[in-house]
């Protein structure tokens, strides 16, 4: 972890550093606003009137402090009752069962690892993960207690099964790619790792997995999950589709049955 002290900077160097920081911020924002015409990558219609506002100065935490905040929230006592009340707002888009949308536009939430949920909610609340559609709901995740309660409730929701599968015509390829690139982090059954904040992917719908992979490979994504951008850059379209199909067939819990297209 790097630590910088302003006391060692001369005034001219400080001015240069601040100017460079402003330039980088502008470049980052321009990159974030660059949209692709691929409908798979488009989260919302380009003419949406909702825009995300940068949080007030001082709201965002540095990366290492944000991770410390995730751990602090995870240590709070479970409060699923309060979380259920908050989820009523989330259900407007994600559905009462947390399925999201089967095309992957609205993410599945139910059964996700608790710390993964906390991390994503913290990033959204601090404005580092841009989700314009979430802006009207930020008051529901503006404290550690609210985030803890919501994540606790969602992570305990039953799995949304059956999952929707792909064509099933390249499953051997999908398994090969999954074994080579995905097992080491997500586990052999796609269960994820809560402590390491690795998402659970077992039982995700084919379209949702494919969309997520493609979006991670797009430069416009404001946050690239660790290692995911590098992975997607090594895969061609056929491999991405095959991988998504394989993941959609991973059984998230005993007795789960997939739904053929």
Nearest residue to 86 via CA among 142, 132, 159, 135: 142
User: How far is the CA of 47 from the CAs of 37, 50, 145, 260, in angstroms?
Assistant: 13, 9, 35, 35
pLDDT of residue 152: 92
CATH number of residue 133's parent domain:
1.10.760.10
Same domain, 135 and 217: no
CA contacts within 13 A on the Cβ side of 41:
16
The answer to whether residue 152 is domain-embedded is yes
The answer to whether residue 11 is domain-embedded is no
pLDDT of residue 116: 93
Q: How far apart are CA 152 and CA 90, in angstroms?
A: 14
Same domain, 66 and 156: yes
Joined together, the tokens standing for residue 208 give 């949702």
Q: How many residues does the chain have?
A: 261
CA angle 230, 232, 237 (to 5 degrees): 155
pLDDT of residue 51: 37
The conformation of residue 137, written as its DSSP 8-state character, comes to G
Q: For residue 127, how many other CB atoms are within 10 A of its CB? A: 18
The answer to whether residue 212 is domain-embedded is yes
Same domain, 152 and 226: no
pLDDT of residue 169: 95
Examine the fold and report which residue of 129, 160, 191 is the final residue of a domain before the chain moves on: 160
Same domain, 77 and 155: yes
Same domain, 74 and 150: yes
Q: Are 256 and 159 in contact (CB under 8 A)?
A: yes
**Range of 200's domain?**
171-248
The answer to whether the Cα torsion of 260, 247, 37, 30 is positive or negative is positive
pLDDT of residue 224: 57
The answer to whether residue 19 is domain-embedded is no
pLDDT of residue 54: 44
Same domain, 150 and 67: yes
The answer to whether residue 56 is domain-embedded is no
The answer to whether residue 15 is domain-embedded is no
The answer to whether residue 67 is domain-embedded is yes
Examine the fold and report which residue of 126, 160, 194 is the final residue of a domain before the chain moves on: 160
Residues near 32 by beta carbon (within 8 Å), at least 6 away in sequence = 130, 220, 222
Same domain, 83 and 146: yes
Examine the fold and report which residue of 105, 136, 160 is the final residue of a domain before the chain moves on: 160
pLDDT of residue 60: 63
Domain tally for the chain? Answer: 2
Q: Are 207 and 107 in contact (CB under 8 A)?
A: no
Same domain, 190 and 155: no
The answer to whether residue 51 is domain-embedded is no
Task: State the alpha helices, DSSP H only, in the chain.
Answer: 11-33, 63-74, 80-94, 114-126, 144-155, 171-181, 183-186, 206-216, 228-233, 237-248
Q: Are 251 and 189 in contact (CB under 8 A)?
A: yes
pLDDT of residue 209: 92
Same domain, 243 and 191: yes
Taking 50 as the pLDDT cut, the residues of the chain under it are 1-58, 255-257, 261
């Amino acid at each position: 972890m790097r630590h910088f002290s302003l006391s060692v900077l001369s005034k001219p160097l400080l001015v240069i550093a601040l100017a460079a920081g402003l330039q980088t911020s502008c470049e980052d924002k321009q990159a974030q606003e660059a949209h692709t015409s691929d409908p798979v990558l488009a989260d919302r219609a380009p003419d949406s009137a909702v825009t995300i506002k940068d949080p007030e100065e001082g709201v965002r935490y540095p990366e290492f402090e944000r991770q410390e905040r995730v751990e602090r929230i995870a240590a709070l006592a479970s409060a699923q009752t309060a979380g259920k009340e908050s989820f009523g707002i989330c259900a407007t888009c994600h559905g009462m069962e947390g399925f999201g949308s089967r095309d992957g536009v609205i993410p599945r939430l139910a059964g996700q690892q608790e710390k993964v949920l906390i991390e994503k909610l913290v990033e959204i609340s601090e404005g580092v993960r841009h989700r314009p559609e979430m802006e009207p709901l930020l008051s529901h995740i503006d404290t550690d207690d609210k985030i803890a309660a919501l994540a606790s409730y969602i992570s305990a929701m039953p799995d949304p099964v059956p999952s929707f599968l792909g064509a099933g015509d390249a499953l051997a390829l999908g398994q090969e790619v999954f074994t080579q690139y995905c097992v080491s982090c997500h586990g052999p059954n796609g269960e994820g790792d809560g402590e390491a904040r690795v998402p659970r992917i077992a039982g995700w719908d084919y379209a949702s997995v494919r969309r997520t992979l493609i979006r991670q490979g797009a430069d416009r994504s404001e946050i690239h999950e660790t290692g995911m951008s590098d992975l997607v850059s090594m895969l061609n379209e056929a491999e991405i589709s095959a991988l998504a199909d394989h993941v959609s067939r991973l059984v998230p819990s005993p007795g789960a049955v997939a739904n053929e297209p």
